[in-house]
Amino acid sequence: MIKFLRYSLFSCLLMAPVLLKAQAWAPVSPQPSQQVMWDVFALNATNAWATGNNGRIVRWNGSTWTESEPLGTNSQRFAIWAADVNTIYVGGVNTGNQLHRFNGTSWENLLSPTNWFGSGSIRSIWGTAANNVWIAGSSGRIFHWNGTSWTARNTGISATFSPSRIWGTNAANMWAVGSTGGTNTGVIYKWNGSNAWVEELSGVPAMRGIWGSSATNMWAVGGTGGTNAGQIYRLSGGTWTLQTTTTNTLNHIYGSNSSNIWAAGNSGALHYYNGTSWVTQSSGRTDHIYAVAVGKTGSSNRLILAGEGSASINPLVTATMTISTLPVTWKNFTYQYNGKDVLLNWTTLSEINTDRFELEHKYEAGEWTLLSETAATGNAVSETSYDYKHENPMAGKHYYRIRQVDLDGKSSYSKTLYVLTGNGKQALRIGANPVKNNQLQLDSDTNEQISIFDLQGREFIKRNITAGRTFIDVSQLPAGTYILVSNTGLIKFVL
């Protein structure tokens, strides 16, 4: 099977210092049949569900996306939440079909047990366990499931309240956000833990999303619906305060911890909080985003955006990223020596409050000196690649390392690369180039793992070789230019 190599490995072929940032978002496949996805929820990195306009549910099981048949209706489904893979709730519009639950075997209509009345829609579902589930919808209606029965929990809620989201960390820390209609009628309510909702914030633009890492560290987002309208509020020290504004209205906020929080909204707006500040991120979209999910398993995060689409635009995109509390998470630091220049490349998986990269060099037994200084992206959660060309260094032993410097002045070092230039021998060498008789000759001073890619990043061969001379049959590869990637660098060769 052909695999793909990230482009950042090939950026070292450029002949000048350059910054490349890899975009990690990709549409899910196959594309959902619905053109609008209203909500998405992830239990972890391998279990997620999304729902939208035609009553269907799209599920991620860790390897593939699959789509269900409509749940007795083709109407809009606005909300989805799961306690586990066998307990899933979905809600939306259409009288008599507003709420369904998956019981591990099949979907069941729950409208009658809830005593939900009329044609009002269910806009949000949240819970902390299978016996603690909340639903919220039209005319300020909120119901709670305790594992045995459904109970209306509307006391303290305005009859004109239109909830956008309900969310909490436990039974004593439940929140509902929305608006009562009109300008600056946004409201944040908190459940008092027993019998009523208490208004915590009002007189703000419509609130559309809420999430928190704890009862004392809560975030809410919203906006007016126009441009220059997004707002992010934070609960800290018992008081809600405006933290920042954004160009576009924000519709949802979600995270996995206090330094990995995402807010998404209109016109593809996407922002990331790294524990210190909010940073604008590219979603690769211009359509509205209605929901964001963060499924976390260990350090692996599956991020999913749900929103508007069309026959040609996928309403559901996803990305996998490694989120670290370290200032820089390194992916690699490699080189290529072309017989004249040393081309250096380093790639980070994430950066938090990073100021710059100082490339240091040492020749033979000399002292380390500063070779170049490159500004860091600063805050990023997708791959970022940097390149530098050390032009025509003198023959001999060269050493390279990178000093990463934070905004607060703290620093750390990468691994050290060793390069032998001039008449010296490289640790791994290619024989005839272009290759003769379809036999690639490799001479290695050490055991190596090697891979062969074409210039489009497709991997054709991957194997381990031992020290000494090795011949690799390349007769199955089309004529062209290839890159040999080893533990110590890259070598370009021609078939």
DSSP 9: G
- Judged against a pLDDT cut of 70, whether residue 355 lies above it is answered with yes
Mean pLDDT, rounded, for 333-353: 86
Q: What is the structure's pLDDT at 382?
A: 67
User: Which of 21-30, 220-229, 232-241, 394-403 is predicted least confidently?
Assistant: 21-30
pLDDT band of residue 240 (cuts 50, 70, 90) is: very high
d(CA 4, CA 175): 44
d(CA 258, CA 477): 49
Structure tokens at 213: 């890492």
Kindly state the percentage of the chain with pLDDT values over 90.
Answer: 38
Across-strand partners of 350? 329
d(CA 345, CA 74): 52
Q: Which long-range contacts (CB under 8 A, 24 or more apart) does 158-162 make?
A: 158/187, 161/187, 161/189, 162/123, 162/138
Q: What is the structure's pLDDT at 458?
A: 83
If you count them, how many residues does the chain have? 495
Instruction: Count the neighbouring beta carbons within 10 Å of the beta carbon of residue 476.
Output: 8
- One-letter amino acid identity for 357? F
d(CA 235, CA 355): 29
- Judged against a pLDDT cut of 90, whether residue 41 lies above it is answered with yes
DSSP 117-136: -TTPPEEEEEEEETTEEEEE
DSSP 380: B
pLDDT band of residue 17 (cuts 50, 70, 90) is: very low
3-state secondary structure 406-423: ECCCCEEECCCEEEEECC
- Judged against a pLDDT cut of 80, whether residue 440 lies above it is answered with yes
pLDDT band of residue 364 (cuts 50, 70, 90) is: confident
Tens of pLDDT, residue by residue over 61-82, are 988 999 887 776 778 899 999 9
Nearest to 123 by CA among 150, 89, 73, 158: 89
Tens of pLDDT, residue by residue over 265-288, are 999 999 988 777 888 888 888 999
Q: What is the structure's pLDDT at 4?
A: 35
Instruction: Count the neighbouring beta carbons within 10 Å of the beta carbon of residue 311.
Output: 6
| Position with higher pLDDT, 371 vs 26 | 371
Cβ atoms of 272 and 279 within 8 Å: the answer is yes
Tens of pLDDT, residue by residue over 275-330, are 778 888 888 889 999 999 988 776 667 889 999 988 888 998 888 765 544 577 78
Tens of pLDDT, residue by residue over 446-467, are 788 889 988 877 889 999 998 8
Half-sphere exposure of 493 (CA within 13 A, CB side): 24
Half-sphere exposure of 62 (CA within 13 A, CB side): 8
| Position with higher pLDDT, 329 vs 360 | 360
> Rounded to the nearest 5°, which phi and psi values hold at 113?
-60, -25
Q: What is the structure's pLDDT at 136?
A: 94
Average pLDDT score over the chain: 84
Mean pLDDT, rounded, for 360-387: 84
Mean pLDDT, rounded, for 220-238: 83
Q: What is the structure's pLDDT at 69?
A: 73
Nearest to 330 by CA among 405, 418, 409, 404: 404
Q: What is the structure's pLDDT at 21?
A: 35
Mean pLDDT, rounded, for 84-112: 87
